[in-house]
A and B are shown apart, each in its own frame.
Chain A
Amino acid sequence: MKIYIVIPNLFLILGVLFISQIGRSASKSLLSTDPFLGIAPQDENYYKTSSEIFKCKDGSKKLNRAQVNDDFCDCPDASDEPGTSACPGGKFYCRNAGHVPLLLFSSRVNDGICDCCDGSDEYDGKVKCPNTCWEAGKVARDKLKKKIATYKEGVTLRKQQIEQAKLAIAKEEEELSKLKSEEKILKGLVQQLKDRKEQIEKAEEKERLQKEEEEKKRREAEEEANKEKSKAEKEANQEKNEVKEQVGSEEEPMESTHDDKIGVLDHDPLDQDVEEDKSNSVAEVEHTDKSENASPTDGIEQHAAEGKEESPVVHETDLHAGNEVSPTSDQATKQENDVAENTEGLSREELGRLVASRWTGENTGQHTEEVDAVKHDHHESHEETPEDTHAEEYDGYASETDDDSQRYDNDDMEDPVDEDFGEEDHYDSSPPYKSDTEDESDFSDITSTSNPSWLEKIQQTVRNILNAVNLFQTPVDKSEAAHIRKEYDESSAKLSKMQSRISSLAQKLKHDFGPEKEFYSFYDQCFENKENKYVYKLCPFKQASQEEGHSTTRLGRWDKFEDSYRTMLFSNGEKCWNGPDRSLKVKLRCGLKNEVTDVDEPSRCEYVALLSTPALCLEEKLKELQQKLELMNQEQPQGHDEL
């Protein structure tokens, strides 16, 4: 055995010596024996002519045929050296039979690194590159086959989704137009009731004034007492609400819903009082309604809104504090002195953190500054986020619809993936996120409006009422007046529900769901990905956020599709210290599930993620892949059998 090893080694050493001897006097050994090395098949005709003259491909120069692949660059376009490294910017073609051919930069030729699986790029004898094309090719083919299988299934899924989306959209559009026409009628009725109610109230007022005249002094004293009482009541209620909000933040939204429902009943008598203010201003009324009624979603909503605002505030505080010690080098040096002189006020650790923050921009943890900044930012965040304000207004009457309920439903209770591949009838009726009990009851209200007999009934009732009440009767018939008030309350509540549904539907249908509406189903979904300590939450057409424990950072609001619907863009997220507003780019690719992966932050506060989804499984791309596989199979060297 030993002899076998020793002898070839000797040969090898001799061989190396021999080559290096030759190498010193003549460098011919660098050249390949194949004069057509590195030429792509489509170019072969250009090179393989009998002519003794070779023209650079760009026509700039005529050369001797011997100058082709002679390891000296003659053509500015590198075309005379397809097989050597002589021309920077040239390209070397390796056939890689059994795998895919490759075009390399000429800088890879004879650089001691095996780039082509057939080893053809290394021919100067300095390294030996084994041919690995068959194994590598098999891996690549298997991968491609898997991809094709995914695409095949994905294309089907995509078609189904598109069908469902089209149906759902048509249905929603129909509902929208129906609701709009009904809204008109209901609006008229509410107006009539309102007029009537006001007339009654006037009459009542008159009556009341008369009585007041009679017992003026006593009344006044009583009035004073009443006022005090009602004020105390209001305060008590507010406190109650606050407590509820805090509780809500720790509890499942479902539970708080039930609590609040009971609450609504409790508060009913109060509503009467509130209504007297109603004529003042609509906005105010709604605001009051919200705080007094504490309707179930309101509680959640306020919590949600607070959550939304709170974290930016905290964050901006960081940024704010950081900003003050912004590390442009001039400032930094200046402050070095300042800091050195003002150390007394700070603990040693605080000082350390403060100076470090010049580089990092992190919160220095200085208390006084922080408090100021918080106050400041609180103020700012209210002033400077018109979008938030808008959302609040909108929520004012859209409180029970999708935005919030969906945020909770989908994220906390349902697996978005399951939902996506759930039952067939998934899109037939209203979207599944409405399955929440509270929503259903609300929704039944609205859907019942589509029943014409219901509308007629109201119309009839109103007509009866209006006819029955004698305006000029004094004293005012108490039961009649109460009846009218009740009818008015009910109808206007219905109207506002209807309007909120209209507004949310219109809002939804305004979106660009893709050329074939393939992204329609994204509207009601959020996708999550956990990456180390962060949870990333992407809600297409809405917003994207990063959550760490209880703190949420908005990475961006929905902006648009880009790159022919291959990228989703969320922009205008929370501002970064000394940097841009946060943003998130989501690259889409074909997959059988809607799944977010590979969330990354290549530059500070500029996030990227991958989302695989059937929506991207395009038929054309499938054909392309199939063709590629066919080509790869053709390239098989003989004697190999794929299966």
Chain B
Amino acid sequence: MLGHGKARGTSGFFWLNAAEMQIDVLGSGWDAESGILLPESGSRIDTLWMSEAGIVDTFFFIGPGPKDVVRQYTSVTGMPAMPQLFSTAYHQCRWNYRDEEDVENVDSKFDEHDIPYDVLWLDIEHTDGKRYFTWDRVLFPNPEQMQNKLAAKGRHMVTIVDPHIKRDESFHLHKEATSKGYYVKDATGKDYDGWCWPGSSSYPDMLNPEIRSWWSEKFSLKNYVGSTPWLYIWNDMNEPSVFNGPEVTMPRDALHYGGVEHRELHNAYGYYFHMATSDGLVKRGDGKDRPFVLSRAFFPGSQRHGAVWTGDNTADWDQLRVSVPMILTLGLTGMTFSGADVGGFFGNPETELLVRWYQLGAYYPFFRGHAHHDTKRREPWLFGERNTELMRDAIHTRYALLPYFYTLFREANTSGVPVMRPLWMEFPSDKATFSNDEAFMVGNSLLVQGIYTERAKYASVYLPGGQSWYDLRTGIIYKGGTTHKLEVSEETIPAFQRAGTIIPRKDRYRRSSTQMANDPYTLVIALNSSHAAEGELYIDDGKSFEFKQGAYIHRHFVFSDGKLTSSSLVPNAGKTLFSSACVIERIIVLGHSSGPKNALIEPSNRKAEIELGPLWLRRGKSAPVLTIRRPNVPVADDWTTKIL
């Protein structure tokens, strides 16, 4: 629970317990008949916390700012893991891409339409009868070859591995788990037998470290037949879902490691399963490759093991809207790598909704299109040229902003502060932001508001703070601290860069983020009222754990007095463990008067031309903005660029 006010700042309360719980919030709408009275003071909200069983630990976090509380909470539960760079890009999923031909076809269509994507996902139907770690060999006769083909384009694949193991004597995993006694037991001590996708199933007891270790071995390239180093994992149904269990889960008297009843630890089961899977991928990569595991179930600390998503949503406008507060809430609890299924899982989205969802989803920390198998195909090129263009543009925007997102993921990794933030986290004393959950911040520099209605003509967007905001697409400046009624076009949702910030971009689109590694950067400097701005850029190899040994580049850009200075934020910067040959090809300065013709670059003592150029290369017309052309300064180096 997090409390935030203008006067007393922010504080947090953390009730650590894994059993069923009830929290009564004695606010407006509370039923006074219950015998519990509302507090007398209207400015106070009381809460009542009840857990069915288990141990309760409680923590108070004293702030005083919102970011402090999140930092304090993640110092207890763990920092969000640094993700694989590719996993911060766009993911394409569907239940199900049916066979190798389908996969190849979808993959090539992305190329045909010049739409980048990084990961293709396979849902449960890829398996041999829902036996995870196996392949339906009729549909997927050559899984390695399929993955290698994707990998040749720098792409990755994700397959699903759920915790329910098919009770089939011929299934090696079941045989092994049975003989080793690794399954959760029912109240009588027999292996618990529940119904899930494969039919009759049992569930490995992930509470037991020995079983987690056993499970994690299953992801080795040798054990997971048909897997490659380019394959990552999706954990679904790990609540655990049991179709014929009480409340669609395991009975409360099922027995775990140490004879503990399921009722005491229900909410932690999915966490341990996620952990074991994630550990499996670390082991597979010999400790040199970051895992990527998406999980549906989570618990405090899950942020250390991978990404989560908001589960099976529906293709309607309300669920588009509600995705924002859901992801924001997850972010406040440390789960920053999260997103909602773009397009909505159940049902067929109208084309406009789908486009709006892509435009919003491009700013989710986890950006994946997904669909139920009863829905029509909805890959971005299926809705006519214009809509293809709109969805391509949304995805391109995400790819251009990947350096910014990755820098934010690093910030989350070191501070717990989420990538996607409620407005009040950045503007804690601006009361108008407190109840606004339609708009959000990406980092401290970007404000985004979704369009949540059909055929919207206008949107009211509140731009907080004392500084101005620049329209992300057009560069048009808007005053802060007020609500603007803006005209809305189909081309984009409202998004703004905050004055006083610098956003790093990569404007060259490739097939996937992998090919962007050597591409040059663009810096977009949005000047504030005192003609100053600052920003950061974090770069590492995007996949290994070397960054933990300091193998990364972390730049601090400061613009003041007409001069942009790049300096390193790496402690003991003398030793270079990671280098990059990338240069900065373009520096855009928003809010600067036009007129200067040249910029002086030091220490190389070169001049670069200044001209008026577009804010974006492919996103329609914008007013020309001041552009330093080809400064070509190495991103890894210290330098200054002074506007003459």
Q: Which residues of A contact B (CB under 8 A)?
A: 20, 23-25, 27, 70-74, 76, 85-89, 105, 107-108, 110-113, 126, 327-329, 336-337, 339-340, 343, 346, 348-356, 359-361, 532, 576-580, 601-604, 606
Contacts and interface: CB of A to CB of B under 8 A. Distances in A.
B481 interface: no
B376 A352 contact: no
Contacts of A346: 244
Contacts of B630: 70-72
A586 B583 CA distance: 52
A602 B94 CA distance: 11
B508 interface: yes
Contacts of B634: 24
A383 B138 CA distance: 41
A27 B632 contact: yes
A352 B199 contact: yes
13 contacts: A23-B581, A27-B583, A70-B630, A74-B613, A86-B585, A107-B511, A336-B247, A340-B247, A348-B195, A354-B243, A355-B243, A602-B102, A603-B377
A337 B634 CA distance: 60
Given A27-B632, A604-B375, A86 B195 contact: no
Contacts of A356: 195-197, 243
Interface residues of B, number: 56
A23 B586 CA distance: 18
Nearest to B112: A105
Contacts of B632: 27
Given A27-B632, A85-B519, A603-B377, A355 B244 contact: yes
A349 B244 contact: yes
Interface in B479-513: 507-511
Contacts, number: 129
B126 interface: no
Contacts of A327: 312, 346
A113 B149 CA distance: 12
B194 interface: yes
Highest count of chain A CB atoms <10 Å: which of B313, B510, B586, B629: B510
A111 B153 CA distance: 9
B618 A88 contact: yes
Given A88-B508, A603-B377, A336 B248 contact: yes
A20 B579 CA distance: 11
Interface in B240-282: 242-244, 246-248
By Cβ-Cβ distance, the 4 closest A-B pairs, closest first, are A352-B195, A355-B243, A352-B244, A351-B244
Given A349-B244, A356-B195, A356-B243, A328 B347 contact: yes
Contacts of B375: 579, 603-604
A71 B247 CA distance: 60
A107 B509 contact: yes
Contacts of A336: 247-248
B105 to A, nearest CB: 9
Contact of A87 (B313, B519, B586, B617): B617
Contact of A359 (B247, B372, B376, B621): B372
A353 B510 CA distance: 44
A87 B313 CA distance: 38
B377 A351 contact: no
A72 B313 contact: no
Nearest to B636: A24
B196 A340 contact: no
A23 B634 CA distance: 9
B508 A352 contact: no
A70 B586 CA distance: 13
B508 A85 contact: yes
Nearest to A111: B515
B511 A329 contact: no
A352 B374 contact: no
B200 interface: yes
Interface of B: 98, 102, 114, 116, 138, 152-154, 194-197, 199-200, 242-244, 246-248, 312-314, 346-347, 372-377, 396, 507-511, 515, 518-520, 579, 581, 583, 585-586, 604, 613-614, 617-618, 621, 629-630, 632, 634
Nearest to B583: A27
A352 B617 contact: no
A89 B377 contact: no
Nearest to A576: B374
A581 B215 CA distance: 44
B196 A352 contact: yes
A24 B346 contact: no
B521 to A, nearest CB: 12
Contact of A328 (B154, B199, B346, B507): B346
B627 to A, nearest CB: 10
A73 B246 contact: no
Contacts of B373: 360, 604
Nearest to A341: B246
B581 A329 contact: no
Nearest to A113: B153
A353 B247 contact: no
Given A85-B508, A88-B396, A352-B195, 10 more contacts: A76-B614, A113-B511, A327-B346, A329-B313, A349-B199, A352-B196, A355-B195, A355-B243, A356-B197, A576-B374
Interface-centre pick from A87, A112, A336, A350 (highest chain B CB count, 10 A): A112
Given A88-B618, A112-B515, A329 B312 contact: yes
**Residue with the highest number of chain B CB atoms closer than 10 Å, among A23, A85, A359:** A359
Contacts of A576: 374
A126 B98 CA distance: 36
Contact of B248 (A76, A107, A355): A355
Contact of B374 (A88, A111, A340, A579): A579
Given A24-B634, A359-B372, A603-B375, A352 B618 contact: no
A351 B243 contact: yes
A86 B346 CA distance: 40
A578 B153 contact: no
B511 A72 contact: no
B534 to A, nearest CB: 25
Nearest to B139: A532
B398 to A, nearest CB: 14
Given A88-B396, A88-B508, A603-B375, A353 B243 contact: yes
Contacts of B518: 110, 126
A352 B247 CA distance: 12
A113 B195 contact: no
A349 B374 contact: no
A107 B515 CA distance: 9
B617 A73 contact: yes
Contact of B246 (A23, A328, A340, A580): A340
B374 A361 contact: yes
A86 B508 contact: yes
Contact of B194 (A110, A126, A350, A352): A352
A341 to B, nearest CB: 9
Contacts of A76: 614, 617, 621
Given A27-B632, A87-B617, A126-B518, A107 B581 contact: no
Contacts of B614: 76
B195 A353 contact: yes
Given A107-B508, A329-B314, A352 B377 contact: no
A107 B377 contact: no
Contacts of B196: 352, 356
A606 B378 CA distance: 13
A38 to B, nearest CB: 15
Contacts of A87: 617
A337 B249 CA distance: 12
Nearest to A110: B518
Contacts of B515: 107, 111-113
A113 B617 CA distance: 24
Among B242, B376, B396, which residue has the most Cβ atoms of chain A within 10 A? Answer: B376
A490 B196 CA distance: 66
A356 B237 CA distance: 12
B583 A328 contact: no
Nearest to B378: A603
B374 A604 contact: yes
